[in-house]
Amino acid sequence: MQLAPVFPILYRILQPTFPSCLWSGSVREPIVALTFDDGPHPQYTPELLEVLDKYKIPASFFWLGVCVERSPEVAKAVYQRGHWVGLHGYNHQMFTSFTPPNLKQNLEKTQLAIAQACQLDFDYVQTHVRDVRPPNGVFTPQILNSLQQWNYRPVMWSVVPEDWVLPGVAIVVQRVLSQVQNGALIVLHDGMFGGAEVAETTALIVKNLLQRGFRFVTVEQLWQLNSVV
């Protein structure tokens, strides 16, 4: 069963129900945030970086701790380019399967992997790498309360083209372009599932949106802009 047609409906339902999450940015400006889950990947992420470098645009990456440990040099390359980094859990295990202490430990383990790969102080990472996207977008009100209690910021999405099932570049691009509006927060994947086509897909999306007059921002910039609206 394809879920792509369901995500726009879910967004319209969930966004006003859970306003503490970042779902999108202000509709007053032609801005869009590109985000990438499940990386870093030793092949797909460097290919994606070449596209982002070519167009000189920022992106946001939600990393799995185990993938950071496997590809530390790729993680470091992403960070050194100034892209925004967030957490996607250590190994893509659903947050609903954890007790609160275990979930906190899972996130801290991912932060530690990032600190070691990017050669950063662990305390700095704990303070600055605090955006969290739950695997599969699954959360409960209790999970949100815990994340906020631990000073994490939950980040969701407004455009999900279901690229991880590899429906084809043309279909993914069409889904994104048909749903994008001011403030869109787009989810793509540079990991094992979906990553094989992410560079080509991203290049087509970026080229089209730049022609439409959109400006690319990071998740951090969306938070900042939303706070002053």
* Catalytic center residues: 37, 189
Instruction: Show Cβ contacts of residue 166 under 8 Å, excluding neighbours closer than 6 positions.
Output: 193, 194, 196, 197
Site of tokens 């889904």: 175
Spatial CA neighbour of 194 closest among 222, 221, 224, 171: 171
Q: How far is CA 48 from CA 10, 202, 213, in A?
A: 28, 8, 22
Q: How far apart are CA 76 and CA 206, in angstroms?
A: 23
**Backbone phi, psi, residue 57, to 5°:** -120, 150
Q: Is 88 helix (H, G, I), strand (E, B) or coil?
A: coil
